[in-house]
Amino acid sequence: MINDSGLIWAVVAITFAAMMAGRFLVRRFAVRLRPIRAYEALPVLAADAVESARRVHVSLGDSALGDASTVTALVSAEIAYRMSERLAISHQLPLLTLTSPMTLPLAQDTLRRAYLYRRTMGYYRSSAAAWYPAGLAFAAGAASLSADLDADSNILLGRFGANLALLGESALRHSQAVIAHSDLLEGQAVAFVQAREVLLGEELYAGPAYLNGTALERGSVLAQDVLRWLVILGIIAAALQTI
């Protein structure tokens, strides 16, 4: 019988092997990922914001480095980077809000890297990443800041609870587009009803692959699919055993 640590290493090994195989396939063949409307909308929102000289509000919510949502925070920050890179040609910085002070340096660095890459460091200000205490205080603070700055759109990715409803409601009142995701069920439900485009569950983690992704990032989407089918087969096998 395999123990917990054995299982962890097995999962990591299978994922790594599937990712490398996916990378090979992506490089060798023209692999097309299924369209996800939220990722199709993101570049359009960035272009709209640049053209109208308005800001984009990107929120990482409660996702935090150092706890269970570390990977969610990293992926959300990577998507924020790809958006910021498009927005960095404008002097209107994106607004990045979050509740974890541990993630604040990551958020600031995400913006800095985007402006450094575009060679527009003169526009960059570290205060474009704003921290608020967790809970409804965050939702109220981030929503009012986004409204005051007349943001063009709100991209809410990461970990949100039911407080996402406040952010979404404020955005809709100010005619701002909303793209939302949460790795918590409450937040995911709210995102489904409020967002113009919603990202469901694992779709967030495929984000870097969809936004000018590298072969490895696209390969990791294939790895996700392999893992999903392994889980499905495992569930079916377990169900058959109980019959």
Partner 1 sequence: MSAFSFPLVGEGRRDGGPSGLWGRFVNNHRLLHFLSSLTVISVGVAMLVGLSSEWGTPPADFAALMLHLVTVIAAVAVFVGVFNLLAVHLGRLARSERGWPYSLLALLAAAGVIALRILDRAEVWSGDLQGEQMSARAFEAVQVSLESALAGLLVFFLVYAAYRLMRRQVTVWSVLFTLAVLVALVGWIPLEETEVLADAREWLVRVPVSAGARGILIGVGLGTVAAGVRVLTGQDRSIRG
Interacting residues with partner 1 between 116 and 175 (CB under 8 A): 116-117, 119, 121-122, 125, 127, 129-132, 135-137, 139-141, 144-145, 147-150, 162-163, 165-166, 168-169, 172
Which residue's CB is nearer to partner 1, number 42 or number 106? Answer: 106
Query: Strand, coil or helix: what is 97?
Result: strand
Chain residues 204-223 in contact with partner 1, contact rule CB under 8 A: 204-206, 212, 214, 216-217, 220-221, 223
Residue 99 burial (CB < 10 Å; 0-12/13-18/19+)? Answer: buried
* CB of residue 154 to partner 1, shortest distance in Å: 14
Q: Is 194 in the site for partner 1 (CB under 8 A)?
A: yes
Query: Strand, coil or helix: what is 101?
Result: coil
Query: Does residue 161 contact residue 187 with C-beta atoms inside 8 Å?
Result: yes
* CB of residue 42 to partner 1, shortest distance in Å: 15
Which residue's CB is nearer to partner 1, number 45 or number 96? Answer: 96
* CB of residue 241 to partner 1, shortest distance in Å: 19
Q: Which helix (H) or strand (E) holds 24?
A: helix 4-28
Going by C-alpha positions, the residue among 175, 178, 144 that lies closest to residue 58 is 178
Rounded to whole angstroms, the Cα distance separating 16 from 14 reads 5
Phi, psi for residue 144 in degrees, rounded to 5: -70, -35
Query: Within 10 Å of residue 215's Cβ, how many Cβ atoms?
Result: 16
Q: Is 15 in the site for partner 1 (CB under 8 A)?
A: yes
Stretch that binds partner 1, among 32-40, 42-50, 51-59, 201-209 (CB under 8 A): 201-209
Q: Is 4 in the site for partner 1 (CB under 8 A)?
A: yes
Chain residues 84-103 in contact with partner 1, contact rule CB under 8 A: 100-102
Q: Is 227 in the site for partner 1 (CB under 8 A)?
A: yes
Q: Is 109 in the site for partner 1 (CB under 8 A)?
A: yes
Query: Does residue 90 contact residue 49 with C-beta atoms inside 8 Å?
Result: yes
